Structure 1
Amino acid sequence: SREDGVLDSNDRLLEDVDRNIVEDVTKFLFQPPDAPRGSGFDLVALNIQRGRDHGLPPYTKFRNFCGLRPLTGFNDVEALGPFVAELGNVYESVDDIDLFTGLLHEPATNDTGIVGPTLACLLVTQFSHLKSGDRFFFDTSKEEFGFTDDQLANIRETTLASVMCENLRIPQLPENVFIQASNKNNKLVNCRKLKGTLDLRLFRE
């Protein structure tokens, strides 16, 4: 809630990261500028409905998949935080809790940053599968699809700035295009000095 937030460097109130979702996406999502107030969509409701439409198992099934202990009931504060009892007013059983609802409620731990253990597990699993399931992922160890050691070394030395300079009509770019240009730490460099990092001779058969 706004009362529990903290002030940023400009004395603006920042809301805590918790189970509550800001009204911008629970009341005004995709609301046209000239539409009556409150006629937008609710992202939370949409996510829950999409989970049901696609047949996602309940939250407890994913806890089991991630090797976490079963829920003890609607009093399981350790697993689902201090407001877990409120879920008992909505669901008949803990096995009915929608995945998105459970993920919003579970408190973060020191090991999982700002998300709870189940969501951390699912994020790691998903990104791991995206990498390992792609036979063309650039550092795959499969020789029939992967790059040679020399090719990999050259790819890792190549920056996005050099690729952009090679292919776009840009006079200058910061060496690290993922960070705002700065005269102190990330100066703009003439593109002529950034070109040619990727050695295409290494990729000719």
Structure 2
Amino acid sequence: MNPLASLPDTPAERRTALRSIMLEKGVSKLDAPVELSSGAMSSYFIDGKRALCDGADLALACTCMLDLMAERGITADAVGGLTLGADQFSHGVAIVGGLEWFVVRKQPKGRGTDKFIEGADVNQKRVLLVDDVISTGASSLVADERIRAEGGESVLATTLVARSDEPAERFAAAGIPFAPLFTYVDLGLPAVGTE
């Protein structure tokens, strides 16, 4: 079965359906705070990988990311970001949107070609920068540095969920438009660092 055939018709309907999936499968209230990749502590954990492990749900999220680009009149040649948070979107958006995909390693492999970026050559490419959940934007900005070093340009940064207002500020300072699918407010959560 083609998961794209059963998607809701409009971008608004798709976002509403995705929000329900995120709240049902991706947001957990924990008994004790855990440390996030940003170093912040939170009693709420957002697991984008678990929420979207069903292919139809991932196809929906990837289509929503493409909707964000279309709403802003932005086009891209390739999609990617820092592994592991970006991997499912790199592949899914590339398939759904007919783009090239890549992932950015945290460290070069140490053998073979010893590259930071695997997959598409981003030189002179317009890139959709993706991640699953962003608290500060630091990981995506590391990926952007490596994309720029290879001659690419991040034309839009997006994520399933922005956990605070800090990512918008940091992307603006870097000159990268930022449009999350959802903010912490959309999911009824406190901002990271305010619990």
Flag the structure with higher strand content.
2
Please give the TM-score of this superposition, normalised by the length of structure 1: 0.23
TM-score of the aligned structures, taking structure 2 as reference length: 0.23
